[in-house]
Structure 1
Amino acid sequence: MALARISLEPPPHIDPTKATLAYGRLAIKRLNRELKDVDLLTRQRAVKALCDYLHDPEHIAEAVNEGVVCSLNTLLKDPDVPCRAYSTECFVILCQHAIGRTAGLNHNILESFKPLIAFNQPDIIRLNTHKAIELLTTDPLGAKAAVESKYIDLLIKCAEKEVDEIKIVVLDTLNHCLSFDTGEGLESGGIPLFTRLLSHPSADVRARTAQNILRLCVNPKGKQEAIDNETIPALVGLLNDQSENVKASSAGALAFICTTNHGRYTTLNAGAIPLLLILVDDENSRVRVNALKVITCLSETPEGRRILLDHLNKISPHENDMNAAVAKHARIAVSVITWKP
């Protein structure tokens, strides 16, 4: 589904060509000084020029060492919208680099970001801020810092109410954070919200939602909540989705839920087996692997094994699949299905 692009239309006088860029090593020094200037126009031009300057990776370390992160952190509180917007864009660029992420965490940038994800902020500021947070949490230290800063509850609220373009970024961030800690996600109502989002019109949202359910279902409490909130029928319904990512993530989530007896029987009663047998022949190897994992779990029930024994001819050819992971899980599935007490 096409999304409207969120962008900033800056005032006409913010022209980076009018910001005098000093030569060589003095460029960052001068821009950093102008970021703190009392004159609004000077700050606007400086932060826009810095945004363009940082697109060259060679300038990242220089900017960090010159203290630009501290200046940008202060500029995040500027009353002027373009100043805040371009500051967040600078952080998006900086957080694409390990040295930028480390500097941001050292300056406790996550606390400065919190007011900028509030719904009273312009869309472009919220989008850039969420992008920067997502990049920060790709690092284990960043994910840990976000969890300790109580971001999971905030992000779950954002995932419910944000516009689609931002919602996708929020779900990616949650995926990083929930891989570190599932407890707060469950306490914040993650499973009920994600169950509702499984019916979202955007395939990108559905795929990321299923992946977040997978993260929460690593926790035994998450598995039980998925059963109680009718999450399993929703996931089974997505096994015939048009999107490969949606099918793969839905099957992956079911594989975690089906590690319990209650989860296996609920999935079995939801009519998952016919859809899973179709996915075994899918072109996407991730879809095939996850489908075989669910089939293996379901074949641990007498009813599931009885049904799957009639369909061994669909599964056994994949024991020689070109993909090593698919072949491995096909062999496991066949051994469990054909097991005799």
Structure 2
Amino acid sequence: MFCPHKNSYLQLVCEMNPRVINKAVDQAMERKEFDPHTAAQRLESMQPSLYAPHVDITRAALGFGRLGLRLINRQLHSPDHLTQLQALHSVLDQMQISENALYLISIHLVYRLIDLMRNRNPVIREKVCMILTLTASYHQGREKIMTRPIIIKELLWLIVRDRKEIRYAAAHTLKTLSEHRCALPMLLEDDTIIETLLKMVTNDHKGIVNSHLRTIANLTDWNQERPLKANAFQIMLKLFEDEDPKIVCGAMGCMTQLCKHDVGKKLADDNDLTFVLRPFLVSNEVEVRISAVTLMQYTTHTTRSKWRAKECCEELTKNLVSLCHGQARPMMQLSAMQVLINLCDCPDIRSHMKWHWERRIKSIPIRTHEDWDGTSETTSYGYETGHNYRTMCIEKIETIKNEYGDNPEVVNVHSYLRRLKEVRERLLYAINWKSYKD
């Protein structure tokens, strides 16, 4: 019998087609059930970009028991091309189930997948990257992948030379690996990974570039010197002019990591980055405003940038105070207040803040823990409405993490909101601070 919940057949071997059994049972019970997997009723968005001949991509061909999983793993190297394709699609189905995924990882599925990354069939190359992405989401899977550094060279080869569907799948795999700090040293062992990704972000499709920017930001967080030597600063500055807000946000994320280095701060002063970011503070896109004010935290550290900001003191402080009152977005509030604290080192800006904005800063609203779940995605239901309904947030969302330490942990919502209150008090203290000379 076919089990629709696990997309697999309950038995490994059957004398007759299980679909015939299912159809006979449904006829006997006079059941009329909607089947979304039929060719006539399948949505166009469910169709794959690369098709496998004579393979039903919506149904697994083998059983999901331990014996069946071993056979699937073995058939990945079958001389029969059709059997190999069916086994690959079945593995992709079974990787959705955590128990079966861990078992496949334990029987060295990763090593077989690496052998298939240069296969002549584009369907196989794409599905291998998709399976490796799922594998990299497990700790055991990352351990297996880290024992074979050759996978990085294979992924870069696909990213540079293959068709766009496979480039996207490979970029997503590399991004998933870079999100885990334990894999970053292995990624940076490749001497060309930074240069290759920087070359691809200038002339690739938007979705692929977005994945590359996330990967570069994660790699730069570990080591800022290599991207700076590869001229990453000028490349990211050029991407600020892109029309896609996701690309702009990704470039600002990379620039934030670059400006953590002393050379990056000097380049920010030379290119007057604080003035470049001014229009983005009033952008119509919420993500762009958050990324811009987060980057401005690092561009306002130097004395030169603070005195340069004094030239547009009235406009800049007005926009930042307005961002501080964005109650629905605690990340934006925290970054905007930190920028104002940095600027208050300049006596003229501090005096301006004292006489014009102190009363409004005292009234900055801070959300309660019931209204916020500690996520940074502005597309979730909670950000759109200003309230947190956990059952409505169905997409994968990124939790806010610390930016310091060797092992950054997820920040507790209560401690993050308490930190907001502490930063507000620090901002009021900075506004009222007086030099000993006064």
Q: Distance in 2 between matches of 1:50 and 1:97?
A: 16
Identity of aligned residues (%): 18
Q: 2:352 aligns with which of 307, 312, 332?
A: 307
Shift of 1:43: 2.0
Specify whether residues 292 and 188 from structure 1 end up closer, same or farther in structure 2 by C-alpha distance, changes over 3 A only: same
RMSD value, Cα: 2.3
1:245-284 map, 5 Å: 245-269=287-311, 271-283=315-327, 284=329
Q: Counterpart amino acid of 1:211?
A: G
Aligned twin of 1:69: 110
Specify whether residues 107 and 321 from structure 1 end up closer, same or farther in structure 2 by C-alpha distance, changes over 3 A only: closer
Specify whether residues 23 and 196 from structure 1 end up closer, same or farther in structure 2 by C-alpha distance, changes over 3 A only: closer
Specify whether residues 23 and 135 from structure 1 end up closer, same or farther in structure 2 by C-alpha distance, changes over 3 A only: closer
Aligned twin of 2:280: 238
Q: Distance in 2 between matches of 1:294 and 1:265?
A: 14
Shift of 1:5: 11
Point out which structure has higher relative CO (alpha carbons under 8 A, 6+ apart). 1
Shift of 1:234: 2.4
Q: 2:266 aligns with which of 221, 224, 236?
A: 224
Task: Check whether the contact 2:55–2:85 (CA below 8 A) recurs between aligned residues.
Answer: yes
Shift of 1:17: 7.6
Size of the aligned set, in residue pairs, is 337
1:70-109 map, 5 Å: 70-108=111-149, 109=151
Aligned twin of 1:185: 227
Task: Check whether the contact 1:299–1:305 (CA below 8 A) recurs between aligned residues.
Answer: yes
Task: Check whether the contact 1:280–1:292 (CA below 8 A) recurs between aligned residues.
Answer: yes
Specify whether residues 302 and 52 from structure 1 end up closer, same or farther in structure 2 by C-alpha distance, changes over 3 A only: same
Q: Counterpart amino acid of 1:327?
A: K
* 3-state SS, counterpart of residue 222 of structure 2: coil
Q: Distance in 1 between matches of 2:244 and 2:308?
A: 26
Task: Check whether the contact 1:130–1:166 (CA below 8 A) recurs between aligned residues.
Answer: yes
Q: Distance in 1 between matches of 2:365 and 2:59?
A: 65
Q: Counterpart amino acid of 1:279?
A: L
Q: Which runs of 5+ in 2 are unaligned?
A: 1-44, 369-416
Task: Check whether the contact 2:60–2:93 (CA below 8 A) recurs between aligned residues.
Answer: no
Q: Distance in 2 between matches of 1:91 and 1:333?
A: 46
TM-score (norm 1): 0.91
Q: 1:196 aligns with which of 238, 247, 250?
A: 238
Q: Distance in 1 between matches of 2:421 and 2:65?
A: 56
Q: Distance in 2 between matches of 1:45 and 1:263?
A: 60
Per-residue CA distance 1:52-71 (angstroms, 9 max, x = gap)? 12111111121112121111
Q: 2:432 aligns with which of 333, 338, 341?
A: 338
Of Structure 1 and Structure 2, which has the larger fraction of its residues in helix?
A: 1
Moved over 4 A (4+): 4-7, 16-20, 319-322
Q: Which runs of 5+ in 1 are unaligned?
A: none
Q: Whose radius of gyration is greater, 1 or 2?
A: 2
Q: Distance in 1 between matches of 2:365 and 2:130?
A: 49
Shift of 1:131: 1.1
1:13-32 map, 5 Å: 13-15=54-56, 20-22=61-63, 24-32=65-73
- Pair 1:135-2:176 in alignment: yes
Aligned twin of 1:290: 335
